Structure 1
Amino acid sequence: MKSQNYDCFSLKKSGMLKKVLTCLVLFVSIVGFSQVKKTANLHTGEIEYNSLDIIITVDSLEELEGEFDANDIEELFDEIEGFKMISFKLICNAVENSREHKNSMSIKIENTKDDKDYFIKRIQKLKKVGVNYYNNKD
């Protein structure tokens, strides 16, 4: 009588290789196909803009005078129909020779888009304040 030696690590002789591979393929397919695809419910309606912030930073009086005028602001108002609130901020930096003295001034105005003429007048006054700042900074 011939005795058979079974190796406990050999899967071929005991038929376990087929069972292990089947379980492994089954496990991988279940895990792979059970992932839920999330569909985004995107609303493709109108986009609503709330506010527009315009910030202008200048370092000298020459930059301030050449930066904006009334015609530019009028054109800007014609292009920004979707915004409800508009803010305009002017930052005037005073460039000094010494590193210790850094002066700056900033003014911000906010308004709704409905009153276009009033807002343009306020922006022109803002420009005058900036000109006065550079003229009287000494």
Structure 2
Amino acid sequence: MAIAHYDQSSKITIYQQITNTSCAATCAAMCVNRSPETLQADGFNLGYANWSGIAQAYGYSVTNGTASLSGILTILASGYPVIVKVNTGSNEHWVVVTAFTGEENSPAASNFTCADPWTGESVTLRYATRYNGIYTTKYFS
């Protein structure tokens, strides 16, 4: 089988979240090419992500994707980094998936690379902070 490679990492700048609860807003900031501090200065509360407000403020549209590894792969292949909720409840955490290398027919979390706002670093999705699965996906276009 052929190995596929999709890399959208050049479309974002990785930022570290500036509060303990700003991972989702930081992911949105990365995808609209702004810093979390810029979002905050522009009036956005970093404690939650106002997805449509952020998209509108910076000239983007936000779309919900399919919450699965295959869904993430489809969005990456379409040319967009993917914001992914990787845990829920009191351990909720979001990351931006930027790349995939592997067999498209059997994607695994270890095939994806993500920008983790908790650490401000690029890591394998499987080792993202609090990774427990795929719960929600979004992308800005």
Tell me which structure has the larger Cα radius of gyration. Answer: 1
Higher share of residues assigned helix: 1
Greater relative contact order (Cα < 8 A, sep 6+) = 2
TM-score by length of 2: 0.25
The structure with the largest strand share of the pair is: 2
